[in-house]
Amino acid sequence: MIKKFLIAFFCVAAHGIFAQNATISPYSYFGIGDLRTGGTVENQMMGGLSLYTDSIHMNLRNPAAYSKLRLTTYTGGISHTRFNLKDATESQSAKVTNLDYLAIGFPIAKKLGVGFGLMPLSSVGYELRDDSADGTISNAYTGEGGLNRIFLSLGFEPIKNVSIGVTGNFNFGTLEYQRIQSVEGVQFGTLDRRESRINGLDFNYSLNYTPTIKDKYTLYTSIMVNTQGNLASENSARLGSFSTANGAEIEVLDVDLDATNLRNTELKIPTRTTLGLGFGENKKWFLGGEYSFQQFSDFTNDFLGIQNVEYKDASTIAVGGYYIPDYRSLSGYHKRITYRAGFRYDVTGLEVNGEAINDFGINFGFGLPLGASFSNVNIGFEYGKRGTTDANLIEESYFKFNFGLSLNDRWFVKRKIN
């Protein structure tokens, strides 16, 4: 029954993952768009930590975790986010609903596990208007699209308490940008459309060391390295004019990008390294922290040629954990619930008009057991802020609701006849 349900869910959701407009942030104009979290609801609700591993949940950001899987695990997650955007004079609200991930993981031998799936990598989606001081010149900016990711992961425990893993990611998608300018009293306006079709590979390596202390507690340590992503971008651009009366396009021509060596460019996403440390009692409680750093100052996008942006080195601090009152309790369902909480602070590396665009979020959530099985429903909530109203910029505050399924099954078991 689980398999039939998941096959149907995957078919419906896989169609939507490529069609969704997953953000309304003006900051998705920069880089390759808004980068998505890449973690399950369970991880996100602990501040985004990825060092914790167990035998029944998938960990999409830490491939060494697949060595711990003892059951086949199907997982999927969606989110609903309400944004409030404000500048120095006004504010606006909007909401989006997204598919966050779909994946399957299973053990293929003792202490050897594999997983694969798909998820969004980044999203572009904004509508902005910029009027001159006297109101005679108006610029309208819109963008849409995003990058998706197909991944294959392998985790292995070669010696006791030491696990290693690797994930191969294939990233692909299309980013579209448009600027329309009109002048008061002028019959025709100008338009500038740009499109990038992007694909490329990157790899994620991880090493976990999880020794048992005093037969009861576990020390969690991890190092993860997401190698530089070399993305090939095939670009096109069109320039022309349009009628301000009815919007009809006039003399829209393809730009010769070959003459400026911008037809094919490369986007290099710098290597990101994450160090993690945690401590806990198995199936009872856990507390941990992670620090990530990335030399994002090396990133450039020559095709867009944006003047008011700089890229600086990026970093993230995350702290989180969980608590289960009594996972074996038969007297109270609430005692078997997993309670999660955490927070994170992202120095994104994006600097616009001389102002750093940083992101802070607080998370909490619950893991709800499904009957007597190891399967569970995971729900979570996040409140956060990004950006600033200084230097004519926009501050975003958001509230996100997450819903995820983690369903367990058993494969590769030989049937027995009594």
Please tell me the predicted confidence (pLDDT) of residue 18: 46
Which tokens belong to 383? 């409140």
Sheet bearing 350-352, strands edge to edge: 309-311, 350-352, 355-356
Partners of 74 in beta bridges: 104, 407
CATH 2.40.160.60 fits 2-409, yes or no: yes
Which residue, chain included where needed, has tokens 């969690």? 220
Nearest to 147 by CA among 9, 292, 22: 22
Please tell me the predicted confidence (pLDDT) of residue 327: 86
Please tell me the predicted confidence (pLDDT) of residue 412: 53
Please tell me the predicted confidence (pLDDT) of residue 411: 62
Nearest to 340 by CA among 60, 43, 40, 56: 43
Is the pTM for the entire model greater than 0.85? yes
Spatial contact of 192 and 178, defined as CB atoms under 8 Å apart: yes
Q: What is the mean pLDDT of each run of 10 residues along the chain (418 residues)?
A: 50 49 86 88 96 93 95 94 91 92 94 95 89 84 94 97 97 94 89 95 97 94 96 95 85 92 94 98 96 94 88 96 91 92 96 94 95 89 95 94 90 52
Q: How many whole angstroms separate alpha carbon 262 and alpha carbon 259?
A: 8
Please tell me the predicted confidence (pLDDT) of residue 307: 83
Element (H, E) at 118: strand 112-131
Nearest to 103 by CA among 406, 409, 413, 375: 406
Q: How many whole angstroms separate alpha carbon 249 and alpha carbon 243?
A: 6
In terms of phi and psi (left: phi > 0; alpha: psi -120 to 50; beta: otherwise), the region of 13 is alpha
Element (H, E) at 44: helix 41-44
Task: Please work out, in degrees rounded to the nearest 5, the angle formed at the alpha carbon of residue 118 by the alpha carbons of 112 and 123.
Answer: 140
Q: How many whole angstroms separate alpha carbon 418 and alpha carbon 413?
A: 15
- CA distances (Å), origin 131, targets 141, 155, 160, 222, 396: 11, 54, 64, 50, 21
Three-state DSSP at 13 gives helix
